Amino acid sequence: MDPNIDLSRFRRECIDTNKVFDYVIARGTDVQELTLGGITQDVIDGICEALTAGGTVQNVEVEIDFGLLPVDDTGCTAEGTEMVPLDDGEEIELTLVTVTKSDTIPINITFDVFESDGVTPVYVDVEATAEIDGTAICEEPVLLCCPDQVGSEISCRVLPTSTFRLLGTPTCVDGDGDGALDLLFNLLFTLCQEVQCSAPVKLEVFARPCEPRPLIPLGDCRQELPNPCRRIFPVMDEDDNGNG
């Protein structure tokens, strides 16, 4: 605490809150060939024609669609405890946690398609969707310092900092044998998943009443005045140049 803070308005207070006892980020890496959806067949045919002629796919951006990813489809399971030796020889008991993924993880993909010269665009800002097979990603066991008490909770969530990279050139295949081509992306990705253990605690803090801040004005209605033509009708105490 800053020693220059005036504590005369602060009081000792006891509050109930959740304390984070441990926090890690688990990573799961995989390479999967994904069939792109959300693109009309005529656009897919045009992309495949450009790729066959030596065209390239550039400016690929991938993000997880958190609007379609149920929160309860990613989680953690406490599998028991394990004694872990420290550098000084002491052993501590930690909780062994298994990190799980949802069956499918929806993603959104945007990309551009260029001719073989790599400069002339064929399609720009193509928007597509795909699904990652979450069951193919190995479940990562992690060790957490988690108190064995009523109310302690282990939580997990996939982070938007997960990374994706296109490998090689996309391919076009007639997957269903009906003559309609499918566009396939080979993606290398790392899914980042936040894992933390928290529990309710009582804390003593120095606090003071919270005062509201001033409102931010949304805009003022101002009166619009006509031009007074002061060169013709000067006001009192002004010279010929309109100066007071």
| Portion of the chain with pLDDT greater than 70, in percent | 88
Q: Within 10 Å of residue 59's Cβ, how many Cβ atoms?
A: 12
Contact (Cβ atoms closer than 8 angstroms) between residue 74 and residue 100:
yes
Dihedral sign (CA 229, 233, 236, 242): positive
Instruction: Give pLDDT, residue 1.
Output: 60
| Residue 72 phi, psi dihedral angles, 5° rounding | -80, 5
Instruction: Give pLDDT, residue 5.
Output: 74
The pTM score is 0.71
Tens-place pLDDT, residues 161-181:
899 999 999 999 987 777 789
Angle 25-31-32 (CA atoms, 0-180°, nearest 5)? 120
How many CA atoms are closer than 13 Å to the CA of 227, on its beta-carbon side? 3
Contact (Cβ atoms closer than 8 angstroms) between residue 185 and residue 155:
no
Tens-place pLDDT, residues 208-235:
878 888 888 777 777 677 776 766 666 6
How many CA atoms are closer than 13 Å to the CA of 129, on its beta-carbon side? 10
Query: Would you place residue 242 in the very low, low, confident or very high pLDDT band (cuts 50, 70, 90)?
Result: very low
Query: Which one, of 81, 82, 36, lies nearest residue 62 by Cα?
Result: 36
Mean pLDDT on 65-88: 80
Tens-place pLDDT, residues 176-207:
777 789 999 999 999 888 899 999 999 998 88
Largest CA distance in the chain: 95
Query: Would you place residue 17 in the very low, low, confident or very high pLDDT band (cuts 50, 70, 90)?
Result: very high
Mean pLDDT on 4-22: 86
Q: Which of 25-29, 92-96, 135-139, 213-217 bottoms out in mean pLDDT, i.e. has the lowest? A: 135-139
Tokens representing residue 122 in the block: 């064929």
Indicate the average pLDDT of the chain: 85
